[in-house]
Amino acid sequence: MAGDYPLLRYSVRRILQAVPLVFWVIIINFTIIHLAPGDPAIYLASVTEATPEAYAELRKEFGLDKPLYVQMGIYLWKLLHLDLGYSTWHNSPVLGVIIDRLPATMLLMATAFSIASLMGVVLGVIASRYSYSVGDHLATLASLAGYSMPIFWLGQLLILFFALYLDWLPSQGMYSMRGVEPGWPAVLDVLKHLLLPAITYATYHMTLVFRITRGKMQETLAQDFILTAKSKGLNERRVLYRHALRNALLPVVTVIGINFAYVMAGSVFTETVFGWPGMGRLIFESITARDYPMILGIFLVVSMMIMLANLITDILYALIDPRVAYN
């Protein structure tokens, strides 16, 4: 109907706006990384042969001897051909290494993100319904704890309790190394490995969504149109979910979208603590190894993902709130 066209127009406009942003992100990423102290040649060469000649040889091989702007030019030209460079550590095209690691991260992130968003919203709605009750206070306190707890610490706590003490779940990795049959047992095995990192990963995010949902629901429930909805004779559940939540969701969606960057950062900690073979750990390993092309490639992919997430957020926002697309 009438509303669909503005939405489409809005989406296209948003996508076009993102294009120059991508360019700037690439330039900024490149500059920041190359300004960081530490010479990759030192990491490439072994400790035993730290001779200036060996460094020079390596710098030449990886083009590190050229001026920065030339390096950037070469990089941009290659990007146009979908060539993200060649990883010095993995000795493979960067894109290939990232694609190898992406599915594991996607699995973890999708699981955690769904758990976090769903639980956060549902708990937030319930807490707003029972505002200032004992349960609400407890939930708020718990969410504050979850929000301020460092991910790696929570992860280790969960590992200690569920993996070591209770011995219910594996402590790390994505696969068992011994005696797993292919097929369903293998799928189950991955799920067992997925549980703890997903919970760890979801906690911070869930508490965030919870707190915002609760707050916004409280605000929304005090608004006039809620009174209208109630005066229509709608039962409480309808009023909460159909009228209040839809309005309260706007800031929640925004926060989820904006926090996508933090979610990516969270994956670094979670995957490192749990030995999860995804992008987060790839970031950690690549930074440790000063693998410039790899770091650049990951940053680019992550930036794109964040921009995509923001784009989706904007469109979702417009979908939820008709006023956005029309104005």
Residues in region 195-234 near other proteins by CB under 8 A:
223-225, 227-234
The answer to whether 42 touches 50, Cβ cutoff 8 Å, is yes
- 86: helix, strand or coil: strand
Query: Mask: binding to other proteins, 288-307, rule CB under 8 A, as x and -?
Result: xx------------------
Q: Single out the segment in contact with other proteins by CB under 8 A; choices: 7-15, 54-62, 204-212, 303-311.
A: 54-62
Q: Name residues contacting other proteins, limited to 67-96 (CB under 8 A).
A: 87, 89-92
User: Closer to other proteins at the Cβ: 25 or 299?
Assistant: 299
Between 263 and 325, CB nearer to other proteins: 325
Contact between 49 and other proteins by CB under 8 A: the answer reads yes
Nearer to other proteins, 165 or 184 (CB): 165
Interaction of residue 313 with other proteins, rule CB under 8 A: no
Residue with smaller CB distance to other proteins, 18 or 238: 238
Least Å distance, CB 66 to other proteins, is 17
Output 259-266 pairs: Cβ under 8 A, ≥24 positions apart.
259/205, 259/208, 260/305, 260/306, 260/309, 260/310, 260/313, 261/306, 262/204, 262/205, 263/109, 263/113, 263/201, 263/205, 264/302, 264/305, 264/306, 266/151, 266/201, 266/204, 266/205
CB nearer to other proteins: pick between 5 and 69: 5
Nearer to other proteins, 26 or 243 (CB): 243
Q: How far is CA 237 from CA 55, 100, 107, 125, 243, in A?
A: 68, 45, 33, 10, 10
Check binding of 40 to other proteins (CB under 8 A).
no
Instruction: Give me Rg for the CA atoms of the chain.
Output: 24
Q: Which of 18, 22, 45, 307 binds other proteins (CB under 8 A)?
A: 45
CB of 52 to other proteins, least distance (A): 10
Residue of 31, 49, 64, 91 lying closest to 294 (CA atoms):
91
DSSP 53-73: HHHHHHHHHTTTTS-HHHHHH
Sign of CA dihedral 179, 181, 182, 188: negative
Site string for other proteins, 117-146 (x = CB under 8 A): ------------------------------
The nearest distance, CB 18 to other proteins, in angstroms, is 25
Measured between alpha carbons, how far is 95 from 99 in angstroms, rounded to an integer?
Answer: 6
Q: Which is nearer to other proteins, 31 or 228 (CB)?
A: 228
Which residue matches tokens 């349960």? Answer: 135
Contacts (CB under 8 A) with other proteins, residues 228-287: 228-236, 238, 242-243, 246-247, 272-275, 277-278, 281-282, 284-285
Q: Which two tokens stand for residue 71?
A: 């390096």
CB closer to other proteins, 147 vs 152: 152
Q: Which of 14, 95, 115, 173 forms a contact with other proteins (CB under 8 A)? A: 173
Candidates 65-73, 162-170, 257-265, 308-316: pick the segment binding other proteins (CB under 8 A). 162-170
Q: How many CB atoms lie within 10 A of CB 45?
A: 17
Near other proteins by CB under 8 A: residue from 30, 79, 101, 203: 101
Contact (CB, 8 A) for 155 and 162? no
* Cβ atoms 172, 222 nearer than 8 A: no
Q: Which is nearer to other proteins, 20 or 233 (CB)?
A: 233
